[in-house]
Amino acid sequence: MALEPSTNLRALRQQIILVTAESGEGHAPSSLSVLDLIYVLHKVVMQPQDKFVLSKGHAALGLYVVLVALGRMPPTALEEFCADDDPELVGHPERCPGWGIEATTGSLGHGIGLAAGLALAERISGRNGRVFCVIGDGEAEEGEVWSTAAIAARQKLNNLIVLVDANGTSPNRIDGIRHATSLCEKFRAFGFFISRINGHDHPSIRRSVAPTGGDQPYAIICDTQKGHGVPLMESEPQVWHHRAIGFSELHTMLESVQ
């Protein structure tokens, strides 16, 4: 079963569900959580000189479906997601700049350091590209996130925009994940310019990433929901975190997508 490439958000959510079911792999709730952020950045915000790093690498399907929809990646790549025989796409992004994948990520905390390096390289080379990096709120428990934050602030990397997928603040949050308010406080303490938005509201996303005009790196805490747009996953995000979707439940789940 295949869906034609589309920039309709409902269709992209359905594509994530379908690929997860057909491959038996993927982190569907996490991919749905970041989909709006990735879509708005790639569709209306980023310029040709800008770069994107998905540090939260297990949400890779959210990136893949957007790149396919926008013609950056061939649709056939999704058909081979996590295939047994040398797949073009695996469960975490592997660097392929021609497709818009700037960094190999998945080890949590790793991608934000790569993003800061890319931002510094832009400055050293005299270019004006910005680097957008999506990390998870659970990922923000990793020490190297804050090592990078300290370096980014010290280097005044105002071309680095970190978007935190704060899905741990929902009623079904994973226990122990830092609350979004404390993330705002911590990034501010490390020298970042801060804002907090609804990470599923497209106008808010567009407005939030406007250049600040200052010399600080920028962190946007995005309140999101795991499994956004798929009611069954929204209600039980931990159950579906890395669970393969059975074909017996696939039709019902696809029909329920909002």
In whole angstroms, what is the distance from residue 221 CA to residue 236 CA? Answer: 23
Confirm if 65 and 162 have CB atoms less than 8 A apart: no
Pair of tokens at residue 26: 């993927």
Pair of tokens at residue 214: 């200052």
What torsion, rounded to 10 degrees, do the Cα atoms 227, 230, 236, 237 define?
A: -10
Give the closest residue to 135 by CA, choosing from 232, 33, 49, 42.
Answer: 33
Give the closest residue to 245 by CA, choosing from 257, 235, 233.
Answer: 233
Average pLDDT over residues 29-48: 96
- CB burial string 211-221: b at 16+ within 10 A, e below: eeeeebbbbbb
Tell me the pTM: 0.92
Give the closest residue to 46 by CA, choosing from 157, 129, 135, 150.
Answer: 129
Domains and CATH numbers, the chain: 28-228 (3.40.50.970)
User: pLDDT confidence of 2, banded at 50, 70, 90?
Assistant: very low
What pLDDT shows up at residue 178?
54
In this structure, the number of other CB atoms found within 10 A of the CB of residue 94 comes to: 16
Share of the chain above pLDDT 90, in %: 68
Confirm if 234 and 228 have CB atoms less than 8 A apart: yes
98 DSSP assignment: G
Confirm if 145 and 135 have CB atoms less than 8 A apart: yes
**What are the backbone dihedrals phi and psi of residue 28, each rounded to the nearest 5 degrees, phi first?**
-65, -50
Task: List the helix and strand counts (H, then E) for the chain.
Answer: 10, 5
In whole angstroms, what is the distance from residue 117 CA to residue 80 CA? Answer: 31
Question: Could you report the per-residue pLDDT of 57-107, keeping only the tens digit for each?
Answer: 999 999 999 999 999 999 888 888 887 776 778 889 999 999 999 999 989
Question: Could you report the per-residue pLDDT of 117-156, keeping only the tens digit for each?
Answer: 999 999 999 999 999 999 999 899 899 999 999 999 999 9
**C-alpha 129: how far from its chain's center?**
19
pLDDT at position 196 over 90: yes
What pLDDT shows up at residue 179?
65
Give the closest residue to 28 by CA, choosing from 255, 254, 223.
Answer: 254
Task: Tell me the pLDDT of the chain averaged across its residues.
Answer: 89
Identify the burial level of 171 via C-beta atoms within 10 angstroms of its C-beta, where 0-12 means exposed, 13-18 middle and 19 or more buried: exposed
